[in-house]
Structures are given as C-alpha cells and as structure tokens.
A and B are shown apart, each in its own frame.
Chain A
Amino acid sequence: MSAVTSTPAAALPERTELRVVRALAAKELRDALRDRWLWLYGASFAVVATGITSLAVSDAENVGFEGFGRTAASLVALAQLVVPLMGLTIGARSVAGQRERGTLAFLLSHPVNATEVYLGIYLGNMAALLVAVAGGFGVAGLVAFLRDAAVDGVDLLTITALAWLLSVAMVGAGMFVSVFARRSSTAMGLALVLWLGFVLLGNLGLMGTSVATRVGDATLFFAAVANPVEAFRLSTITVLGGSLDVLGPVGTYAVDRFGDGVRIVTVAALLVWAVLPPAIGALVFRRSPDR
C-alpha cells in the first residue's frame, strides 16, 4: 500500500463547488436514464402526444393550419396531467429513496456538502426530465412532420420548453417533499396528493372559491398563476398568442392590467416555481437533523 498523503485541509473549499455538483448531476442523470419509470412515463407521453398530433392530420384537411390551435390545446391538456405527475414522483423518490437505500450516506461520506448533493440530484433530474419531455414531444413532432400534419414547429418547441419548465418546477416540489419523508413510499404518497391538488383541486377550488366568496378578479388571477399547472396553461396560451377569454372576467382583468406583459407574468410564475422549491429544499436539507 502507498503512503498516506491526505489533501491539506486549506486546499478544499467549504463553499459549494460546481465541480462537485456537476459530477453528482451526471451520476444522477445516468441513474435516472436507467430508471424504468422515466421510460414508462416518456413512452406513454410520446404515444398519446403522437396520437394527438396525428389527429391534426385529418383536422388539417378540414380547417388548415387553424387545426393546430386545437392540437396545441390538446397537447397542453396532456402535458398538464402527465408532466406534473412525472416530475413530482421522480422528485419524491429521489432523496427519500436514496436515504432509504443508504446511498445518500454513501454520497455524504465523501468530501461534499449537503447543498452540493441536493443540487446535484436536482440538476440530474432536470436533465432526465428534459430527455423524457423533449423525447415525448419530439416523437410526436416527428410523426406529424412525416405525415405532413398541420403542426407549427415553433409552437411545438414552445410547448415543449414550457412543459419542461413545468417538469422542473414539479421535480423541485417533489424533492422538497422527499426531504421530509423518511420512506420513499411516504414521499410518493405525498407527491400524489400534491399532484391531485395542483391538477384537480387547484382549478376546481379556484372556481368554487370565486363563486362562494366573490373575491376580486386580481386575487383570482394571482391565485391561478400561483398554481404551477395553471401558470403553465396560461403561459402556453399567452406565449402562443391565444386569448385569455377562456378565463372570463379574470382573463379580461389580466389583459387590461398587464397587456402583452401577461405572458411575462405567467412565465415568471413558472420560473419562480422552478427556482423557489429547490432553493428552500436545499436549505432545509442542509439543516436536516438526520440525513
């Protein structure tokens, strides 16, 4: 055996190092790409998205390129359901699962800090979700292109980018839940509750609240964009140049109040969701009593 030559203490910075985050993110991505759940989600998403864009082919014969308005709306509706589920469950399994298997302790026994580990897992999952979301939409777009369907490439790319942003927001929320759960199954359960909350109750609750309490349009609009799934839906509508009439008086308020800037508000809401949960999650994880 060779002689002991430990690194001088002063040479190793205590601050978060990108080098370490990058190494951990690469490992996480490699690990995620071997995860059957990611492929299952990605494949299911691709199949349904392909089905939707294929329908645009027959639509195009009747209504030309306007057909993509309906196709885009269908793709957005699909992404609203599947992408949050994908992001939340992948995020929820990450920290709790690694804690349960003991691999978290393996990572933390290295000269790394908790923030580096958390960010590494987050970024790795972000990249894995990019593969799944882009793959799903990509397959759908390719099939549409080959069949000469009425699909606007730029619109498809925009939906893909916003859907990925939604997945990033959801993986951050899932990881946040994962920090508190001792078991992976508990984290998954909490993630499913969150998914129901975002996808179903958020919308219905908002409608119910508006009827029951007669709150103002401004409050309702901000309550809507505070839900990442709604923020995604409104982002796609506004960025693709759609009308917010679907929101009724709330939509009218948003357009009157922000004008064209409404798209910035909705995308910014999504960005806040992509940044805030992982930032708070990293802080909580760093101070977590038992990792």
Chain B
Amino acid sequence: MIRVDHLTKRYGDVVVVDDVSFEVAAGEAVAFWGPNGAGKSTIVRCILGLVPFEGTIEIGGNDIRRRGKAARDALGYVPQQLAFYDDLTIAETVDLSTRLRRVALERGRDKVGELGLADHWDKPVGALSGGMKQRLAIALALVADPSVLLLDEPTSSLDVAARESVLEVFEKLRDDRRAIVLTSHNLDEVGVLAERVIAMEAGSMVLECEPSELPERLGLRAVLHVLVRDVPSAVELLNGAGFTARENSHGLLVDVPAGGKGRALTTLHDAGFEVLDVDVWR
C-alpha cells in the first residue's frame, strides 16, 4: 500500500531523515515514535510530496514525484498543526475539499455528521474548538475513503477529553482495510493505534517492534511520585524490592521502567501501603 525506500532528506548539510525504508500493507497500522526533531514529521512531508527528497516513495503503486496527484488521491492526511481557512465555514471547507477530491458534497456532509459536527455546518472554522477542528480534519481526511491514512501527531494539540474522543474515532478506523501511518511521541497513543512501531532518533530508524516491547527495548524509564502515609518505610520497602526510591518533600519518588509502572504500586499495595495519589513525573 505504501513503500518507502532509502528515504533521505537533507536541509543543506544537515541530514534530517537518514536512509529510512519501510512498507505498510493494507489493514496494517504503523507508528513512528520518537522525540521532537527525530524526523517523524519530515517523513510525513516527504510522503505527501511537499518537499524534495532522495529515495523512492510509492503510494498504491504511484510514485509521489512522478504521479503525485494519483498518489495523494489514495491518501487521507491529518496534520499536526491544524491549518484551515478560518473565515470559511465548515460547509465551504468541505465543499473545497470534496471538489478537489472529486467527491460529492453530500459525502463530505455525511462524514462531518459522523464525526459529530453536523450542527456546526455553517459555522466559520475559526470559531471551532481545537477538538472540533481535529474532527473536521479527520472528516476531510476520510471524505474520499482513502486507502492510506497519514496521521501526524494527531492528538498533540488536544486536551485530555478531546484526545480521548479523537482516539476512539481512530480506533474505529483500524477496523477498515486501510493502511495507517502515524507519528507520535506519546507511547500510550502508539499502543492504542498501532501494531508495529518504528522508533526514530536523529533522523534514523533505531528500532522496529511491537508497541508493548518498545519501552523495555529502548530502556525507557519513568519517575513516579507516590503519596503514602509512612514514606520512610515505603522507600525502604521499594529499595529492598530492587527499585530506586527516595523521599520527596511530600511523598516518594521511584524510578521504574516506562512499561512497568504498575509493579512499584503493586509492591506497595501487597505490603499493606495505601497509595493515596500517583503522578508520572517523567
């Protein structure tokens, strides 16, 4: 469905994507995970054909450089930074997108309705909340039933409630027989939406595995701030159980594997400590 072969992108002498190759088949969801600046969004811009690059990118058998229109016809794109014409209404925005995609306006209206925006049809896009704009972006990405869905940090600008509702929408899309390419720096999101994850660092692919394996294989750590009544005893217990814990001004801090946060809490619970509150600090 999508094939990327030896993709390299340079800005002057700086290599931002270095010899990346991967394939995503129909029905498969693949996530690019990595910190900011790892090259994830640049890969997306290359897939869309917005920037020149070295290597080959094919979408549905169409080379993005030689048959860009046909390649993009198979693509639905949800950008990281939602950029719409704020003065246009949802109706006008959908009208433009459906005309460019050769799809009936009614189909666009249906998609907007499916994503809960029917009542806002005549509202200017600039008047919508971040979550609503994200839903509009998803509706536009789906309007032509694309065989490849490209999601660039799709929930990064949303609050918790909007993020949950948007993730639900994406989860439903996974039932379809379409390929999904997602970029994210959020492990939870990757776990929910993808069955394969490619970890990126400084423009290079450093690891390819299942999302559940990622924290351990990369040695990712988290620090939990735990509130209990008898902090010194809890710290002693955790250190004795192999964790690295220390007292904090109003609780304790414990270093845990990013994929195994619950083990420290289970240790405390099994020893009879009541965990009053927990925060993930890193």
Residues of A within 8 A of B (CB): 1-7, 9-10, 12-14, 19-20, 23-24, 27, 30-31, 34, 101-103, 105-113, 289-291
Contacts and interface: CB of A to CB of B under 8 A. Distances in A.
B75 A30 contact: no
Nearest to A114: B68
A20 B60 CA distance: 22
B145 A9 contact: no
A111 B69 contact: yes
A23 B100 CA distance: 7
A112 B60 CA distance: 17
Given A12-B69, A12-B70, A1 B173 contact: yes
B8 interface: no
Contacts of A112: 69, 72, 100
B258 interface: no
B88 A30 contact: yes
Contacts of B62: 9
B85 interface: yes
B84 interface: yes
A7 B143 CA distance: 12
Contacts of B81: 102
Contacts of A106: 79, 83-84
B124 to A, nearest CB: 10
Contacts of A14: 66-70
Contact of A113 (B52, B69, B102, B147): B69
Given A34-B87, A110-B72, 11 more contacts: A1-B142, A1-B176, A3-B177, A4-B145, A27-B96, A30-B92, A105-B48, A111-B72, A112-B72, A112-B100, A289-B52
Interface of A is mostly: loop
Interface SS of chain B: loop
Between A7, A103, A108, the greatest number of chain B beta carbons within 10 A of the residue's beta carbon is seen for A7
B144 A6 contact: yes
A111 B101 contact: yes
A110 B68 CA distance: 10
B99 interface: yes
Given A1-B142, A6-B146, A20 B70 contact: no
A30 B60 CA distance: 34
B232 interface: no
Contacts of A102: 79, 81-83
A108 B88 contact: no
B109 interface: no
Nearest to B149: A4
B178 A4 contact: yes
Nearest to B178: A4
The interface centre, meaning the residue of A1, A14, A108, A112 with most chain B CB atoms within 10 A of its CB, is A1
Interface string B32-52: 000000000000010011111
A7 B172 CA distance: 22
B64 to A, nearest CB: 11
A10 B70 CA distance: 8
A105 B84 CA distance: 10
Contact of A6 (B51, B87, B92, B145): B145
Nearest to A111: B73
